[in-house]
Amino acid sequence: MPEKKEQDLMQKIVSLSKRRGFVFPASEIYGGFANSYTYGPYGVLLKNNIKNLWWKKFVLQREDIVGIDGPIILHPKAWKASGHLDGFSDALVDCKNCKSRFRADHLVEDATGKDLEGKLDELKKVLDEEIDCPNCSKRDWTDVRNFNLMFSTKTSVVEGKEQEIAYLRPETAGAIFLEFKNVLDSTRVKVPFGIAQIGKAFRNEIVAGNFIFRLREFEQMEIEYFISPDDDWESIFEEWLLLQEEFAFELGVKKENIRRYEHPKEKLSHYSKKTVDIEFNYPFGGFKELFGMAHRGDFDLSAHSKFSGEKLEYQDPKTGKKYIPHVLEPTFGLDRSILVALLCAYQEEEVNGEIRTVMKFPKRIAPIQVAVFPLLKNKPELVKKARDVFNFLKKDFVCEFDDNGNIGKRYRRQDEIGTPYCVTIDFDALDNNSVTVRDRDTMEQTRVNLDELADYLKERF
């Protein structure tokens, strides 16, 4: 069981997220809807900052990676080729007494330490012999069934023609393989190179998740990095793991809170040489997956070649040799990135006998960069000057104007949003053109001349 303090942290994050407009439970006015959440006004800013940080680091600042943005609904054959149609499923079991539904492999692993993933009969046997329902304590299990996680929908509503079943993508990577040839033909990329994509993925997750850790629709940031079968893949794999860890640090994660988990050889898919999860120490249940990294061999390109009849090969420009590249797949969950950014930022500090709650996001991802306040709301000359400062700063920074309530309260609110700098316009601003800039982390206030304010702030971001 997670310690109480840690459970409290999770509750505090959930409640702050709602109170301050980071994350709302979705469809709440209809009583909520399992595993779905809405990013509120500050949440969407945080989310976009994390996406931009990723895109900049892995696409814009590299010569060997290009981006695409593919559709959510691909040709249904793509999922047959990738193996998702036949194999992308969880083993589920229901309690006949209280009707609760569980992942059978999780129940068995938690109770016995045995990893029986994919072995339905053995799972059922252990459940019947050893495990009571965690909800009602009875032992009356249905059969264990495989449940495909893909959402299906129907296309082509042509009169007299049968509708075709299509699927919402369960991962973003699919479209990357389908566009492999188009990217090769339309750009100057040469192996080794990568194709990156950010977008929504959909999984019919039955088991309720922890806040935004497990959602039915979520966003992934994925790269397929194509290499030659002759390349030293192990060193490239290691480089990618280091980059994934570096990205976690950029979200505010501390070294001691992540670790690598290498999947044992016997559990790897037949095509994978190596798979490693980057795990974060979540307040619920400890270390769990944040990012993943897999060697997928030539499985995907070969399978799509076979099913589509289109050759997905690469010709080495120097030797003229043709081959199907191998692929390394670093994958990043955006929603889990947001969750760890929230968890790592949260701090409580005692200030003059009171608790101050402050979200110490790394400045680059803070939703609001600068808040601008007139000291008093009822002094038109202060409000006007503050509006001028706000209009000027918002050209370069994401700013918020606030003249509500006393100044202390306004600081507290910005602390909870995680705004690195608050600029207050007081009477001195009218006399000598200077304002106070308050630092979120140290709470120090510095007087800065208005002519130098933009540079002062730029230096600090």
Closer Cβ to ligand ATP, 221 or 422, answer by number = 221
What is the residue-wise DSSP string for 212-275?
Answer: GGS-SEEEEEEEEEEE-TTS-HHHHHHHHHHHHHHHHHHTT--GGGEEEEEPPGGGS-TT-S-E
Q: Which two tokens stand for residue 54?
A: 């990723």
Residue 109 in the binding site for ligand ATP (CB under 6 A): no
Residues 153-192 that bind ligand ATP (CB under 6 A): 171
Strand (E) or helix (H) holding 94: strand 89-94
Of 6, 109, 289, 388, which lies in the binding site for ligand ATP, with binding defined by CB under 6 A? 289
The C-alpha angle with vertex 222 and arms to 147 and 170, in degrees rounded to 5, equals 20
Token look-up 């999780």 returns: 106
Of 58, 102, 280, 291, which lies in the binding site for ligand ATP, with binding defined by CB under 6 A? 291
Residue 215 in the binding site for ligand ATP (CB under 6 A): yes
Residue 203 in the binding site for ligand ATP (CB under 6 A): yes
What is the residue-wise DSSP string for 307-345?
Answer: HH-----EE-TTT--EEPPEEEEEEEEHHHHHHHHHHHH
Q: Which stretch binds ligand ATP (CB under 6 A): 120-128, 286-294, 366-374, 375-383?
A: 286-294
Residue 425 in the binding site for ligand ATP (CB under 6 A): no
Query: 425 with 382: CB under 8 angstroms?
Result: yes
C-alpha pair distances (Å), 37 with each of 15, 22, 44, 67, 110: 13, 10, 12, 27, 28
The C-alpha angle with vertex 257 and arms to 251 and 261, in degrees rounded to 5, equals 105
Residue 122 in the binding site for ligand ATP (CB under 6 A): no
The C-alpha angle with vertex 105 and arms to 25 and 296, in degrees rounded to 5, equals 85
For the chain, report the end-to-end CA distance as a whole number of angstroms: 40
Residue 292 in the binding site for ligand ATP (CB under 6 A): yes
Strand (E) or helix (H) holding 385: helix 380-393
- CB of 218: closest distance to ligand ATP in angstroms? 4
Residues 329-388 that bind ligand ATP (CB under 6 A): 331, 333, 335-336
Closer Cβ to ligand ATP, 263 or 356, answer by number = 263
Residue 218 in the binding site for ligand ATP (CB under 6 A): yes
State which amino acid sits at residue 100. Answer: S
Residue 103 in the binding site for ligand ATP (CB under 6 A): no
Closer Cβ to ligand ATP, 138 or 265, answer by number = 265
User: Shortest Cβ contact with ligand ATP: which residue?
Assistant: 333
Of 82, 148, 220, 424, which lies in the binding site for ligand ATP, with binding defined by CB under 6 A? 220
Q: Which stretch binds ligand ATP (CB under 6 A): 25-33, 212-220, 301-309, 431-439?
A: 212-220
- CB of 119: closest distance to ligand ATP in angstroms? 18
Closer Cβ to ligand ATP, 122 or 289, answer by number = 289
Closer Cβ to ligand ATP, 237 or 373, answer by number = 237
Q: What distance lies between CA 367 and its chain's CA centroid?
A: 16
What are the residues binding ligand ATP (CB under 6 A)? 171, 203, 205, 214-215, 218, 220, 289-292, 331, 333, 335-336
